[in-house]
Chains A and B, each alone.
Chain A
Amino acid sequence: MSERLHFEDFTLGRVFDCGTYAVTKEEIFEFAREFDPQPHHLDEEAAKHSMLKGLSASGWHVCAIAMRMLADGILNKAVGLGGVGSREARWMKPVRPGDTLRMEAEVMEARPSASKPVGFVTFDCRVFNQTEQVAMISMTPIIGRRA
Protein backbone atom coordinates (compact mmCIF):
# COMPACT_ATOMS: atom_id res chain seq x y z
CA MET A 1 0.00 0.00 0.00
CA SER A 2 1.23 3.46 -0.80
CA GLU A 3 2.01 5.86 2.01
CA ARG A 4 -1.18 7.13 3.61
CA LEU A 5 -1.87 10.81 4.13
CA HIS A 6 -1.49 12.05 7.71
CA PHE A 7 -2.54 15.22 9.51
CA GLU A 8 0.82 16.82 8.66
CA ASP A 9 0.05 16.56 4.93
CA PHE A 10 -2.98 18.85 5.20
CA THR A 11 -1.28 22.22 4.97
CA LEU A 12 -3.35 25.41 4.86
CA GLY A 13 -4.56 26.25 1.37
CA ARG A 14 -3.80 22.84 -0.13
CA VAL A 15 -6.54 21.88 -2.60
CA PHE A 16 -7.51 18.26 -3.30
CA ASP A 17 -9.34 17.18 -6.44
CA CYS A 18 -12.07 14.79 -5.25
CA GLY A 19 -13.18 13.48 -8.63
CA THR A 20 -16.64 13.43 -10.17
CA TYR A 21 -20.10 12.01 -9.42
CA ALA A 22 -22.87 11.50 -11.98
CA VAL A 23 -26.32 12.25 -10.55
CA THR A 24 -29.18 10.28 -12.12
CA LYS A 25 -32.89 10.92 -11.84
CA GLU A 26 -33.33 7.46 -10.31
CA GLU A 27 -30.88 8.28 -7.55
CA ILE A 28 -32.55 11.64 -6.82
CA PHE A 29 -35.89 9.79 -6.49
CA GLU A 30 -34.37 6.99 -4.40
CA PHE A 31 -32.81 9.36 -1.86
CA ALA A 32 -35.89 11.60 -1.75
CA ARG A 33 -38.31 8.69 -1.26
CA GLU A 34 -36.36 7.49 1.78
CA PHE A 35 -35.28 10.77 3.39
CA ASP A 36 -36.81 13.89 1.81
CA PRO A 37 -40.18 13.13 0.18
CA GLN A 38 -41.08 16.61 -1.04
CA PRO A 39 -42.67 17.23 -4.46
CA HIS A 40 -39.71 19.22 -5.83
CA HIS A 41 -37.48 16.14 -5.35
CA LEU A 42 -40.02 13.48 -6.38
CA ASP A 43 -42.55 14.76 -8.86
CA GLU A 44 -41.40 16.23 -12.17
CA GLU A 45 -44.66 18.03 -12.90
CA ALA A 46 -45.02 19.54 -9.42
CA ALA A 47 -41.31 20.47 -9.44
CA LYS A 48 -41.80 22.65 -12.53
CA HIS A 49 -44.05 24.94 -10.49
CA SER A 50 -41.80 25.02 -7.40
CA MET A 51 -39.35 27.75 -6.40
CA LEU A 52 -36.50 25.79 -8.04
CA LYS A 53 -38.39 25.40 -11.33
CA GLY A 54 -37.68 21.75 -11.98
CA LEU A 55 -36.66 18.51 -10.35
CA SER A 56 -33.66 18.87 -8.02
CA ALA A 57 -31.74 16.70 -5.57
CA SER A 58 -32.34 17.09 -1.83
CA GLY A 59 -29.71 19.33 -0.23
CA TRP A 60 -28.96 16.49 2.19
CA HIS A 61 -28.40 14.24 -0.80
CA VAL A 62 -25.83 16.75 -2.09
CA CYS A 63 -24.12 16.59 1.33
CA ALA A 64 -24.10 12.78 1.16
CA ILE A 65 -22.59 12.89 -2.35
CA ALA A 66 -19.94 15.36 -1.11
CA MET A 67 -19.17 12.93 1.72
CA ARG A 68 -18.71 10.14 -0.81
CA MET A 69 -16.31 12.26 -2.83
CA LEU A 70 -14.40 13.27 0.32
CA ALA A 71 -14.14 9.61 1.39
CA ASP A 72 -12.93 8.46 -2.04
CA GLY A 73 -10.77 11.51 -2.73
CA ILE A 74 -9.12 11.99 0.66
CA LEU A 75 -10.25 10.07 3.74
CA ASN A 76 -9.77 6.52 2.46
CA LYS A 77 -6.25 7.54 1.34
CA ALA A 78 -5.55 8.99 4.79
CA VAL A 79 -5.76 7.89 8.40
CA GLY A 80 -9.40 9.01 8.68
CA LEU A 81 -10.94 8.69 12.12
CA GLY A 82 -14.45 10.06 11.76
CA GLY A 83 -15.75 13.59 11.69
CA VAL A 84 -16.91 16.19 14.18
CA GLY A 85 -19.28 18.16 11.98
CA SER A 86 -19.87 20.84 9.39
CA ARG A 87 -19.55 24.52 10.25
CA GLU A 88 -21.63 25.59 7.32
CA ALA A 89 -23.29 24.38 4.15
CA ARG A 90 -24.60 26.57 1.36
CA TRP A 91 -26.93 25.07 -1.23
CA MET A 92 -26.36 27.65 -3.93
CA LYS A 93 -27.90 26.18 -7.07
CA PRO A 94 -30.17 23.19 -7.68
CA VAL A 95 -28.53 19.87 -8.57
CA ARG A 96 -30.42 18.43 -11.53
CA PRO A 97 -30.82 14.92 -12.99
CA GLY A 98 -27.98 14.29 -15.44
CA ASP A 99 -25.54 16.63 -13.72
CA THR A 100 -21.98 15.43 -13.36
CA LEU A 101 -20.65 16.99 -10.19
CA ARG A 102 -17.00 17.53 -9.38
CA MET A 103 -15.56 18.60 -6.07
CA GLU A 104 -12.45 20.33 -4.79
CA ALA A 105 -11.62 20.39 -1.09
CA GLU A 106 -9.41 23.15 0.29
CA VAL A 107 -7.75 22.98 3.70
CA MET A 108 -9.04 26.00 5.65
CA GLU A 109 -7.79 25.05 9.11
CA ALA A 110 -5.66 22.28 10.61
CA ARG A 111 -5.63 22.02 14.41
CA PRO A 112 -3.77 19.29 16.31
CA SER A 113 -5.54 17.69 19.28
CA ALA A 114 -3.98 18.67 22.60
CA SER A 115 -4.43 15.19 24.09
CA LYS A 116 -4.45 12.61 21.26
CA PRO A 117 -2.19 11.82 18.27
CA VAL A 118 -4.76 13.21 15.84
CA GLY A 119 -5.78 16.53 14.33
CA PHE A 120 -8.92 18.27 13.11
CA VAL A 121 -8.78 19.35 9.46
CA THR A 122 -11.49 21.69 8.18
CA PHE A 123 -12.11 21.57 4.44
CA ASP A 124 -14.23 23.85 2.30
CA CYS A 125 -15.73 21.35 -0.12
CA ARG A 126 -16.75 23.21 -3.27
CA VAL A 127 -19.14 21.30 -5.52
CA PHE A 128 -19.53 22.27 -9.19
CA ASN A 129 -21.80 21.11 -12.00
CA GLN A 130 -20.79 21.40 -15.66
CA THR A 131 -20.82 25.22 -15.59
CA GLU A 132 -20.92 26.68 -12.07
CA GLN A 133 -20.56 26.10 -8.35
CA VAL A 134 -23.69 24.52 -6.84
CA ALA A 135 -22.73 24.03 -3.18
CA MET A 136 -20.17 24.70 -0.48
CA ILE A 137 -20.06 22.22 2.36
CA SER A 138 -17.58 22.60 5.16
CA MET A 139 -16.40 19.33 6.69
CA THR A 140 -14.08 18.67 9.63
CA PRO A 141 -12.75 15.10 9.73
CA ILE A 142 -10.30 13.82 12.33
CA ILE A 143 -7.03 12.62 10.80
CA GLY A 144 -4.22 10.68 12.46
CA ARG A 145 -0.82 12.29 12.96
CA ARG A 146 2.42 10.79 11.73
CA ALA A 147 4.04 8.73 14.47
Chain B
Amino acid sequence: MSWWEDIEIGARRELGIYTFTEEEIIRFARKYDPQIFHLDPEAAKQTMFGGLIASGWHTAAIWMKLAIESRKKETAAGNPLQRAGVSPGFSDLKWLKPVRPGMTLTFTNEVANKVELKSRPDMGLVESRNEARDQNGEVVFSFIGKGFVQRRPKED
Protein backbone atom coordinates (compact mmCIF):
# COMPACT_ATOMS: atom_id res chain seq x y z
CA MET B 1 0.00 0.00 0.00
CA SER B 2 1.19 3.54 -0.68
CA TRP B 3 0.31 6.72 1.19
CA TRP B 4 -0.68 10.26 0.25
CA GLU B 5 2.99 11.24 0.64
CA ASP B 6 4.02 8.72 -2.05
CA ILE B 7 1.73 10.09 -4.76
CA GLU B 8 3.55 12.19 -7.35
CA ILE B 9 1.99 15.17 -9.10
CA GLY B 10 2.08 14.46 -12.83
CA ALA B 11 1.87 10.68 -12.46
CA ARG B 12 -0.29 9.46 -15.32
CA ARG B 13 -1.96 6.17 -16.04
CA GLU B 14 -4.31 4.72 -18.61
CA LEU B 15 -7.41 3.36 -16.91
CA GLY B 16 -8.70 1.34 -19.84
CA ILE B 17 -10.70 1.45 -23.05
CA TYR B 18 -14.43 0.99 -23.52
CA THR B 19 -16.75 0.58 -26.49
CA PHE B 20 -20.32 1.82 -26.00
CA THR B 21 -23.18 -0.25 -27.45
CA GLU B 22 -26.60 1.02 -28.51
CA GLU B 23 -28.32 -1.44 -26.18
CA GLU B 24 -26.54 -0.23 -23.03
CA ILE B 25 -26.85 3.46 -23.98
CA ILE B 26 -30.63 2.98 -24.17
CA ARG B 27 -30.76 0.88 -20.99
CA PHE B 28 -28.91 3.55 -18.96
CA ALA B 29 -31.07 6.32 -20.42
CA ARG B 30 -34.36 4.56 -19.64
CA LYS B 31 -33.37 4.41 -16.00
CA TYR B 32 -31.53 7.70 -15.46
CA ASP B 33 -31.70 10.09 -18.43
CA PRO B 34 -34.89 9.59 -20.45
CA GLN B 35 -34.39 12.26 -23.10
CA ILE B 36 -35.23 11.43 -26.70
CA PHE B 37 -31.64 11.65 -28.07
CA HIS B 38 -30.53 9.02 -25.51
CA LEU B 39 -33.54 6.71 -25.95
CA ASP B 40 -34.71 6.34 -29.51
CA PRO B 41 -32.24 5.85 -32.41
CA GLU B 42 -34.84 6.85 -35.04
CA ALA B 43 -36.22 9.93 -33.27
CA ALA B 44 -32.66 10.98 -32.33
CA LYS B 45 -31.89 11.46 -36.05
CA GLN B 46 -34.23 14.46 -36.06
CA THR B 47 -32.42 16.14 -33.14
CA MET B 48 -29.38 18.43 -33.29
CA PHE B 49 -27.18 15.38 -32.55
CA GLY B 50 -28.27 13.57 -35.72
CA GLY B 51 -28.45 10.23 -33.92
CA LEU B 52 -28.40 8.38 -30.63
CA ILE B 53 -25.86 9.59 -28.03
CA ALA B 54 -24.97 8.31 -24.56
CA SER B 55 -26.05 10.14 -21.43
CA GLY B 56 -23.09 12.12 -20.15
CA TRP B 57 -23.55 10.46 -16.75
CA HIS B 58 -23.22 7.09 -18.46
CA THR B 59 -19.77 8.15 -19.72
CA ALA B 60 -18.91 9.28 -16.19
CA ALA B 61 -20.09 5.96 -14.71
CA ILE B 62 -17.88 4.07 -17.20
CA TRP B 63 -14.92 6.18 -15.99
CA MET B 64 -15.65 4.92 -12.47
CA LYS B 65 -15.93 1.32 -13.68
CA LEU B 66 -12.56 1.48 -15.44
CA ALA B 67 -10.90 3.24 -12.50
CA ILE B 68 -11.94 0.36 -10.21
CA GLU B 69 -10.85 -2.28 -12.76
CA SER B 70 -7.52 -0.54 -13.17
CA ARG B 71 -7.00 -0.50 -9.41
CA LYS B 72 -7.74 -4.24 -9.23
CA LYS B 73 -5.28 -4.97 -12.05
CA GLU B 74 -2.55 -2.98 -10.33
CA THR B 75 -3.13 -4.85 -7.08
CA ALA B 76 -3.02 -8.17 -8.94
CA ALA B 77 0.26 -7.09 -10.56
CA GLY B 78 1.73 -6.46 -7.12
CA ASN B 79 1.99 -2.67 -7.51
CA PRO B 80 1.46 -0.61 -4.36
CA LEU B 81 -2.15 0.43 -4.02
CA GLN B 82 -3.09 3.88 -2.79
CA ARG B 83 -4.91 3.92 0.52
CA ALA B 84 -7.83 5.60 -1.19
CA GLY B 85 -10.98 6.48 0.69
CA VAL B 86 -14.12 8.25 -0.33
CA SER B 87 -14.48 11.24 -2.63
CA PRO B 88 -16.01 14.58 -1.61
CA GLY B 89 -17.01 15.35 -5.20
CA PHE B 90 -15.56 16.66 -8.45
CA SER B 91 -15.26 19.85 -10.48
CA ASP B 92 -15.09 21.07 -14.09
CA LEU B 93 -16.84 18.08 -15.58
CA LYS B 94 -17.24 18.63 -19.34
CA TRP B 95 -19.02 16.70 -22.07
CA LEU B 96 -17.10 18.06 -25.06
CA LYS B 97 -18.31 15.76 -27.85
CA PRO B 98 -21.22 13.34 -28.18
CA VAL B 99 -20.52 9.65 -27.43
CA ARG B 100 -22.24 7.43 -30.01
CA PRO B 101 -22.88 3.68 -30.25
CA GLY B 102 -19.75 1.84 -31.42
CA MET B 103 -17.35 4.56 -30.26
CA THR B 104 -14.29 3.37 -28.35
CA LEU B 105 -12.94 5.72 -25.69
CA THR B 106 -9.60 5.62 -23.88
CA PHE B 107 -9.76 6.87 -20.27
CA THR B 108 -6.74 8.37 -18.49
CA ASN B 109 -5.99 9.78 -15.04
CA GLU B 110 -3.23 12.22 -14.10
CA VAL B 111 -2.41 13.51 -10.61
CA ALA B 112 -2.91 17.28 -10.74
CA ASN B 113 -2.63 18.52 -7.17
CA LYS B 114 -2.22 17.45 -3.53
CA VAL B 115 -3.85 19.34 -0.67
CA GLU B 116 -3.22 19.00 3.05
CA LEU B 117 -6.34 18.98 5.20
CA LYS B 118 -6.30 20.99 8.40
CA SER B 119 -9.47 19.28 9.61
CA ARG B 120 -8.22 15.72 8.94
CA PRO B 121 -4.47 15.38 9.65
CA ASP B 122 -4.69 11.63 8.93
CA MET B 123 -5.93 12.24 5.38
CA GLY B 124 -4.82 14.21 2.35
CA LEU B 125 -6.75 15.25 -0.73
CA VAL B 126 -5.58 14.29 -4.21
CA GLU B 127 -6.98 16.09 -7.25
CA SER B 128 -6.66 14.38 -10.61
CA ARG B 129 -7.38 15.32 -14.19
CA ASN B 130 -9.41 12.62 -15.93
CA GLU B 131 -10.03 12.41 -19.66
CA ALA B 132 -11.68 10.20 -22.23
CA ARG B 133 -10.44 10.43 -25.83
CA ASP B 134 -12.02 9.08 -28.99
CA GLN B 135 -10.27 7.05 -31.73
CA ASN B 136 -8.90 10.31 -33.22
CA GLY B 137 -7.31 11.30 -29.93
CA GLU B 138 -9.79 14.11 -29.31
CA VAL B 139 -10.97 14.72 -25.76
CA VAL B 140 -14.70 14.00 -25.46
CA PHE B 141 -15.03 14.01 -21.65
CA SER B 142 -12.97 15.46 -18.80
CA PHE B 143 -13.22 16.36 -15.14
CA ILE B 144 -11.18 17.06 -12.04
CA GLY B 145 -11.66 14.22 -9.56
CA LYS B 146 -11.07 14.53 -5.85
CA GLY B 147 -10.23 11.75 -3.44
CA PHE B 148 -9.13 11.38 0.16
CA VAL B 149 -6.00 9.25 0.64
CA GLN B 150 -4.54 8.17 4.00
CA ARG B 151 -1.35 9.88 5.14
CA ARG B 152 1.69 8.01 6.40
CA PRO B 153 1.40 7.81 10.18
CA LYS B 154 3.88 10.07 11.98
CA GLU B 155 6.55 8.17 13.86
CA ASP B 156 6.57 9.07 17.50
Q: Is the interface of B mostly helix, strand, loop or mixed?
A: mixed
Stretch at the interface among A1-9, A12-20, A64-72: A64-72
Distance in angstroms between the alpha carbons of A65 and B33 in the assembled complex: 9
Having A36-B65, A38-B68, one finds 15 other A-B pairs with CB under 8 Å, namely A51-B85, A51-B86, A51-B148, A52-B86, A60-B60, A64-B31, A67-B57, A75-B35, A76-B34, A80-B35, A81-B48, A82-B37, A88-B90, A88-B91, A91-B89
* A residues at B contact (CB < 8 Å): 31, 34-38, 40, 50-52, 58-61, 63-65, 67-68, 71-72, 75-76, 80-91
Cβ of B61 within 8 Å of any chain A Cβ, yes or no, is yes
B36 CB, nearest partner CB in chain A, Å: 9
Q: Are A65 and B64 closer than 8 Å at their CB atoms?
A: no
Chain B nearest CB, measured from A41 CB (Å): 10
Q: A83 touching B95 by the CB < 8 A rule?
A: yes
Determine which of B57, B62, B92 lies in contact with A87 in the assembled complex, contact meaning CB atoms within 8 Å. Answer: B92
Q: Does chain A have a CB within 8 A of B16?
A: no
> In the bound complex, what is the Cα–Cα distance between A86 and B142 (angstroms)?
10
Contact with A along B42-78 (1 / 0, CB 8 A): 0000011100010111001110110010000000000
A64 to B87, CA, bound (A): 16
Contacts of B34 in A (CB 8 A): 68, 71-72, 76
Judge whether B93 is part of the interface by a CB distance below 8 angstroms.
Answer: yes
Which A-B residue pairs are the 7 nearest by beta carbons?
A64-B32, A35-B61, A85-B94, A86-B93, A90-B89, A89-B89, A35-B65
Give the residues in chain A near B47, CB-CB below 8 Å.
81
Say yes or no: A67 contacts B33, CB within 8 Å: yes
Decide: B89 and A85 in contact? CB cutoff 8 A: no
Taking the complex as formed, is B102 at the interface, i.e. its CB lies under 8 A from any CB of chain A?
Answer: no
A37/B68 contact (C-beta < 8 A), A65-B32, A68-B31 known? yes
The residue that B57 contacts in the complex, of A38, A50, A63, A82, with Cβ under 8 A, is A63
B88 is an interface residue with CB less than 8 A from chain A = yes
Q: Contact at B68–A82, with CB atoms within 8 Å?
A: no
Residues 10-50 of B at the A interface (beta carbon under 8 Å) = 28, 31-35, 37, 47-49
- Do the beta carbons of B87 and A59 come within 8 Å of each other? yes
Q: Which residue of B lies closest to A56 (CB)?
A: B86
- Tell me the minimal C-beta distance from A114 to chain B in angstroms: 17
Please report the C-alpha to C-alpha distance between residue A51 and residue B150 in the assembled complex, in whole angstroms: 11
Chain B: which residue is nearest A58 at the CB level? B64
CB-nearest residue of chain A relative to B98? A82
Q: Which residues of A contact B85 (CB under 8 A)?
A: 51
Shortest distance between the CB of A51 and any CB in chain B (Å)? 5
Looking at the complex, which one of B35, B49, B91, B148 makes contact with A71 (CB distance below 8 Å)? Answer: B35
